[in-house]
Structures are given as C-alpha cells and as structure tokens.
C-alpha cells in the first residue's frame, strides 16, 4: 500500500500523491488517477482541483508546520 502525502506548496495548491478517494459533500467520488493538486486560493474554475488561477489572482501563503514539542 502506497503512503498518501499532501504537500502544502508555497503560494500554490495542495499536491496530493498516493492512492486516495476524493469525495464531494454528498459522498460522490471524483474520478482521479495518480497525483493531483487541490485549489486553496478559491479562484479555480475547476474546483476542487487547481487550474493555476493562484498565479494571476495574487494568492500568497507560505505556512510552515510548527516544530515538534517532544
């Protein structure tokens, strides 16, 4: 079984790798194969998928995970 990874990309979408099932609010699955990117700027015409709109609409976000408190 392949690990699922979600990478937060600076000023861009979430990159999803691995085998996952993506469903809408009603539970209906989207047809996805392989890696895909999810919009987080809100400007995509193909939501929930990224269409590159973040490059033109000024979206900026560079979150970093907090350091572990172990």
Instruction: Provide the token pair at 66.
Output: 């907090």
Structural domain spans, the chain: 1-17+31-64
DSSP sequence for 11-44: TS-EEEESS---B-TTSPBP---S-EEE--SS--
Fold annotation for 1-17+31-64: Ribosomal Protein L9; domain 1 (3.40.5)
pLDDT of residue 70: 66
Q: How far is CA 19 from the centre of its chain?
A: 14
pTM of this structure: 0.85
Structural tokens at position 30? 């989207």
Contacts of 49 (CB under 8 A, 6+ apart): 36, 37, 38, 39
- Kindly report, residue by residue over 7-55, the tens digit of the pLDDT: 999 999 999 999 899 999 999 999 888 899 999 999 999 999 999 999 9
């Amino acid at each position: 079984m392949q690990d699922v990874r979600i990478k937060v990309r600076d000023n861009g979408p979430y990159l999803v790798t691995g085998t996952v099932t993506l469903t809408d609010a009603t539970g209906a699955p989207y047809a996805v194969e392989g890696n895909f990117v999810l919009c987080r700027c809100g400007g995509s015409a193909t939501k929930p998928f990224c269409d590159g709109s973040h490059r033109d609409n000024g979206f900026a976000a560079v979150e970093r995970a907090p350091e572990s408190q172990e």
